[in-house]
Amino acid sequence: MNTPVHYLDHAATTPMVPAALEAMTAHLANAGNPSSLHASGRQARRVVEESRETIAQALDCRPGEVVFTSGGTESNNLALKGLFWSRRAGDPGRRRILTTAIEHHAVLDPLDWLAASEGAEVELLPVDRSGRLDVEAFRATLERDPASVALVSVMWANNEVGTLQPIDEVVALAGPHGIPVHTDAVQALGSVPLDFAASGVDAMTITGHKVGGPFGAGALVVRRELDLVALAHGGGQERDIRSGTIDTPAIAGLAAAVELAVKHQDEHAAHVGALRDELVRRVVEVVPDAHLHGAPLEPRSLRLPGNAHLGFPGCEGDSLLMLLDARGIECSTGSACSAGVAQPSHVLLAMGCTDDAARHSLRFSFGHTSTEADVDAVVEAIGPVVERARAARRV
């Protein structure tokens, strides 16, 4: 008899919703290339442009501002490298890039490359113990020499601890200096309101597989007036800044998922938020020294509704993960793994956690398939699992 799987890793990826699956499969057998001029090509182009309009309406941007990519990593690379190269070409003195110490590696690693290979000066901005940007530190860093800043990149919501960032304050400080702001909104889409026009950001990264869409489909929403240098050169299919044959079926699935996620964002947030709150409350009852990382549960405006990042002193996060996995409960740790050696989470370290505390955490993340049964399974298993993980560590 198979152990039932309780999937609590929606922040990593979430199952496709039926609407996206239907939209994608409806076009898989069609042969038309959207760049071709014959009837099949025009039909494929119609699907792509209708999908672009759907996403633009959902995110309150202009259709021409939606640049389709293969996902979050490509969108971040295009925004960061493309903006840096463009800004430096206009003014060689603009070499500084300001970002937070808790960004996803899809932001930090491209910036490391720009620093090592292109002469960028990357400055990591501090966060407080909840994982929220220190706005005054940002202000001081920015105003030290604003004319040398090429761009700012601050994620909308942290992927590990779920803390929402003060994007409005970032834009308010950078805007008067004419400094473009990019935000990685991959985790925020579908969980909190996203309004590109009202936010004031210049570029925003989204991806499909976090909101019930397909893998390999995402977008960089970028203002038309903003110049970007292309990463790869070819047909120039997307505004001459992103080349490659357009994946019509995947884009159709992406648009369906984004539209649905935005339409049902309020009820989704209420549903996963209630499950998350119950999980945190009941886990702490079973394991009294367990504690929440990131922003507090209240007020809800500070944190993603479906994220519960919990620390379990005396444990190794990887051990907890595998013990839960053996019981049919799937979650993730707050750490990255390099060459088989667990590393403490750079996010938790930036938040002031000790090396040990940055290793003893689990992230439970809820999504559209989550139920009360998932919470019950974790609560039933967590006590014995923590005891076993602590005993293993003492040996």
Q: What is the 3-state secondary structure (H, E, C) of the chain?
A: CCCCCEECECCCCCCCCHHHHHHHHCCCCCCCCCCCCCHHHHHHHHHHHHHHHHHHHHHCCCHHHEEEECCHHHHHHHHHHHHHHHHHHHCCCCCEEEEECCCCHHHHHHHHHHHHHHCCEEEEECECCCCCECHHHHHHHHHHCHHHEEEEECCCECCCCCEECCHHHHHHHHHHHCCCEEEECCCCCCCCCCCHHHHCCCEEEEECCCCCCCCCCEEEEECCCCCCCCCCCCCCCECCCECCCCCHHHHHHHHHHHHHHHHCHHHHHHHHHHHHHHHHHHHHHHCCCCEECCCCCCCHHHECCCEEEEECCCCCHHHHHHHHHHCCEECEECCCEECCEECCCHHHHHCCCCCCHHHCEEEEECCCCCCHHHHHHHHHHHHHHHHHHHHHHHC
Contact 128, 348 (CB under 8 A): no
Could you say which of 61, 315, 337, 353 is catalytic? Answer: 337
Contact 335, 344 (CB under 8 A): yes
Residue 337 is a catalytic residue: yes
Catalytic positions, written as ranges: 337
